[in-house]
Amino acid sequence: MANYSAPLKDMDFLLKHVADSRQFDQLAHFDDYDAPLLAAVLEEAAKFAGQVLSPLNQTGDIEGCHFNDGAVTTPAGWTDAYQQFCDNGWLGLALPEAYGGQSLPRFIAAAVHEMWLSSNLSFVMFQALTQGAAEILLAAKDDRLKQRYLEKLVTGEWATCMSLTEPGAGSDLGNTRTRAVRQEDGNYLIRGQKIYITYGEHDLTDNIVHLVLAKTPDSPAGAKGVSLFIVPKYKVDEAGQCGELNDVRCVSIEHKTGLHGSPTCSISYGDEGGAIGELVGEENRGLEYMFILMNEARLSTGQQGVAIGEMGYQRALEYSLERTQGRDALTGETNVQIARHPDVKRMLMGLRAQVTALRALSYQIASRLDLAEVDSQDRAAHLQFVALMTPIFKAFSTESGNQMAGTTIQIFGGMGFVEETGVAQLMRDIRVTTIYEGTTGIQANDLVFRKVLADQGAALTALVSEIETDFALYSALDCAGAETEMLTQMIRVVKDTADYILQQGKEGREALLCGAVNVLELLGIACCSWMMMRTAVAAEKQKLQSTDRDYLNNLIALSRFYFAHFTPKVLALHHTVISAGTGIQDYQIEE
């Protein structure tokens, strides 16, 4: 199986000309950042992804993780790769230099992170955890915790994990049953069971810093009574040195359909009396802190959809150029590359168009996070944009990723069903991404209720006007054809959907709940269409000064393809949104 080859040209184009990172030349915030640095970082990352991580992807899938009496062994090659990953400074790329990171902008880190996810998703799942945990510690403003933990995490000397889910409660964190009792020394004794803990136990690091949600006695009921604790596998003294084993035990690892190289652990805290935990920030604010990490993880998960899509596209392109079969429908030539069959070309373009649009969106989100750092005047607007986009990107990109893995297998035909080719692994690996870090249904409710209704549609209205600005630029292009009519309809449909949500928010929630997933998909397609308009506009502009016209013309063709093959779905989705309750209220589940 061919190794991953980072799509540097596409990444570079989207970073420089499509995402709002294009504003960075003017802002010049990141002192060290310039175009050569960007190119150097991406090229080095591309090498590491293609030469170190990618070759371990299929072997890791085949071997999987091993569990033996509480200890977890990762697949062959994992520990070496981890050491190199940390030594090269990849782990803390976007984390502060003061703690051993590289302080690079988020939008560069996003491109690099995508390479890790494409080349070996199972392996690199720890990175978003570290990024998020570090941000929690930075936000919690607890110098003692920071001094003892942050550098160890940022440099990768220690790993971290996110201990949320319990056997009885998956998505409902307010139901947390793990208990934390404050001791005289200020520490807490933690007792409880957690499941589905990614990298909860492994052999990559000397210590693992568990971030554990638990409830203190007499805490308020539900989500407002949950606190966050640091529970290290080995206790950490005042000097930040590892001491004796804490009362933390990995009970088992899951036998999953995909992500075999990533250990998914059941962890028991306090079987021998209680695990020692340290409170992060204040009591009862655990979910608030955890959501810092969770939002990080959601953006990373969204990138997993792009990353698997890209890997699938690379494999499918390669295969469809190698494999010859059948007759060219137009020329009659026989035994042609299957990429020449219009239906296969349609699938290949569908993959590349989706990847391009979603990738642009991920860079756009990252850029706005960067802009929020440097542009204090519009900080709130940037963060509002990111907050709106997080559920859309997380859910729509992972749903698309699942669909793209299916398309990849379809292009491979029978060879796709056979494990040796490695493309079935894409389907198996991506499957959980629409579930973990909040299911698609949960993202949809977050979107409709907390991101649209809660601000009376302000963020969505701002998004629509950004889309309209780019639509005006696109429709003025010479290349723009009949598809501008569809884009006009799309913008109208997005506005109608916004109006509908605001109106239903007053009149009745049930119909909104029935159609929330459809709202999310509709906005996902609208945002991708928006990015493809920007891509076409940028490509037309570049044609004036570039000799690479074939490449740029392809980007324009790809955009127009998106408007014909994906954008029209908003028409159907809008219809479903406004009639979503039909039949549901009348139907009785049969027990």
Residues 471-510 that bind a copy of itself (CB under 8 A): 481-483, 486, 509-510
Minimum distance between the CB of residue 439 and a copy of itself, rounded to whole angstroms?
6
Among 172, 333, 496, 548, the residue binding a copy of itself under the rule CB under 8 A is 172
CA–CA separation, 565 vs 158, rounded Å? 46
| Residue 349 backbone phi and psi in degrees, to 5 | -65, -35
DSSP-assigned beta bridge partners for residue 166: 169
341 binds a copy of itself (CB under 8 A): yes
Minimum distance between the CB of residue 244 and a copy of itself, rounded to whole angstroms?
32
Query: Within 348-367, which residues bind a copy of itself (CB under 8 A)?
Result: 348-349
Look at the block and give the residue holding tokens 């269409």: 529
| Residue 262 backbone phi and psi in degrees, to 5 | -100, 115
Please calculate the CA angle 542-534-312 and round it to the nearest 5 degrees: 95
* Three-state SS at 213: strand
454 binds a copy of itself (CB under 8 A): no
177 binds a copy of itself (CB under 8 A): no
Q: Which residues does the annotation mark as catalytic?
A: 437
Q: Quick one: which segment of 74-82, 186-194, 294-302, 569-577 binds a copy of itself (CB under 8 A)? A: 569-577
* Three-state SS at 97: helix
Q: Would you say 238 or 591 has its CB closer to a copy of itself?
A: 591
Interface characters, 242-281, with a copy of itself (x: CB under 8 A): ------------xxxxx-----------------------
Q: Quick one: which segment of 48-56, 376-384, 470-478, 575-583 binds a copy of itself (CB under 8 A)? A: 575-583
Q: Quick one: which segment of 276-284, 332-340, 375-383, 494-502 binds a copy of itself (CB under 8 A)? A: 332-340
331 binds a copy of itself (CB under 8 A): no
From the CB of residue 591, how many other CB atoms can be counted at a distance below 10 Å?
A: 3
Q: Quick one: which segment of 94-102, 149-157, 344-352, 463-471 binds a copy of itself (CB under 8 A)? A: 344-352
Q: Quick one: which segment of 106-114, 121-129, 131-139, 343-351 binds a copy of itself (CB under 8 A)? A: 343-351
- Residue 576 belongs to what H/E stretch? helix 569-578
CA–CA separation, 251 vs 404, rounded Å? 35
DSSP-assigned beta bridge partners for residue 162: 211
CB 527 within 8 A of CB 487: no
Query: Within 280-319, which residues bind a copy of itself (CB under 8 A)?
Result: 317
569 binds a copy of itself (CB under 8 A): yes
534 binds a copy of itself (CB under 8 A): no
CB 196 within 8 A of CB 147: no
Minimum distance between the CB of residue 438 and a copy of itself, rounded to whole angstroms?
10
Minimum distance between the CB of residue 86 and a copy of itself, rounded to whole angstroms?
28
Residues in contact with 528: Cβ distance below 8 Å, sequence separation at least 6, in sequence order: 354, 357, 358, 361, 396, 562, 566
CA–CA separation, 60 vs 313, rounded Å? 21
29 binds a copy of itself (CB under 8 A): no
Residue count of the chain: 591
- 234: its two tokens: 């080995």
Q: Would you say 137 or 570 has its CB closer to a copy of itself?
A: 570
Reduce the secondary structure of 142-167 to three states and give it as a string.
Answer: CHHHHHHHHHHHHCCCEEEEEECCEC
Q: Quick one: which segment of 51-59, 228-236, 290-298, 345-353 binds a copy of itself (CB under 8 A)? A: 345-353
Among 335, 376, 377, 545, the residue binding a copy of itself under the rule CB under 8 A is 335
Look at the block and give the residue holding tokens 């159609």: 515
Query: Within 386-445, which residues bind a copy of itself (CB under 8 A)?
Result: 402, 406, 409-410, 413-414, 416-420, 424, 427-428, 431-432, 434-436, 439-441, 444-445
Among 122, 131, 165, 301, the residue binding a copy of itself under the rule CB under 8 A is 165
Query: Within 183-212, which residues bind a copy of itself (CB under 8 A)?
Result: 195-196
169 binds a copy of itself (CB under 8 A): yes
User: Residue 389's Cα: distance from chain center in Å?
Assistant: 12
CB 212 within 8 A of CB 179: no
Residue 224 DSSP symbol = G
**Count of residues in contact with a copy of itself, rule CB under 8 A:** 99
Residue 475 DSSP symbol = H
